[in-house]
């Protein structure tokens, strides 16, 4: 789904973040939150803070002051202040809700043509995480980090500075090893966003150790 016309616009500038209500309790590596920080640079963090513009491999340290769980949706130096926007919206009814954050046609810093569109969908109950991607142009992950982290030293990396994210890619992080709830939940088929079900769906399982 494309929420750029219906979701809440955070009006983020370069190197900034905004707090968003998830609409339900969501857990990652055993840590639970009902609000999340949405960053201009393509990540979500439980802490009320900014992760930073220079992506690193996962597990990463806390050099930017984030010693808390975060999701690197497309962690790179992006600049929504120069174009595009960052949005969020919650759908569904109690027990089966899902929270969507979307970076919509956001350029990289210093570029007007290298645009990124990406989504993170957080599912109530299962605590699954679904990442979806659509690139109008650009590096397809060649300068970005994708993955999840609990704290310094514990995380799960999908990619780090690798051009492995093609149009329509969907990546699922599942706590119980099953496919994301998107398989059975009525998530609308996206229009201008990544084509869930038509792209590459990859499953990664994460557990607290």
Confidence at residue 152, expressed as pLDDT on a 0 to 100 scale: 72
pLDDT digits (tens, 9 = 90+) for 98-154: 999 999 999 999 887 789 999 999 999 999 999 999 875 677 899 999 999 987 778
pLDDT at residue 197 is higher than 80:
no
| Paired residues of 19 in beta bridges | 37
197/209 Cα distance (integer angstroms)? 31
**pLDDT classification of 50: cutoffs 50, 70, 90:** confident
199/178 Cα distance (integer angstroms)? 18
Confidence at residue 30, expressed as pLDDT on a 0 to 100 scale: 86
Ordered by start, the domain boundaries in the chain are 8-205
Check: CB of residue 99 under 8 Å from CB of residue 22: yes
């Amino acid at each position: 789904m494309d929420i750029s016309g219906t979701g809440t616009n955070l009006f983020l500038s370069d190197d900034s973040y905004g707090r968003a209500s998830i609409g339900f309790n969501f857990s990652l590596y055993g840590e639970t939150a009902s609000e999340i920080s949405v960053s201009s640079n393509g990540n979500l963090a439980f802490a009320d803070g900014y992760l930073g513009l220079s992506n690193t491999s996962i597990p990463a340290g806390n050099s930017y002051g984030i010693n808390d769980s975060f999701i690197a949706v497309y962690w790179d130096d992006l600049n929504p202040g120069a174009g595009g926007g960052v949005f969020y919206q919650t759908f569904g009814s109690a027990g089966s809700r899902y929270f969507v954050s979307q970076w919509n046609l956001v350029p990289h810093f210093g570029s007007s043509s290298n645009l990124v569109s990406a989504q993170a969908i957080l599912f109530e109950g299962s605590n699954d995480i679904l990442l979806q991607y659509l690139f109008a142009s650009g590096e397809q992950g060649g300068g970005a980090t994708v993955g999840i982290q609990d704290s310094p030293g514990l995380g799960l990396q999908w990619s780090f500075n690798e051009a492995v994210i093609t149009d329509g890619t969907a990546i699922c992080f599942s706590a119980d090893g099953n496919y994301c709830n998107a398989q059975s939940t009525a998530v609308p088929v996206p229009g201008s966003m990544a084509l869930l079900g038509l792209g590459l769906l990859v499953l990664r399982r994460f557990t607290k150790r």
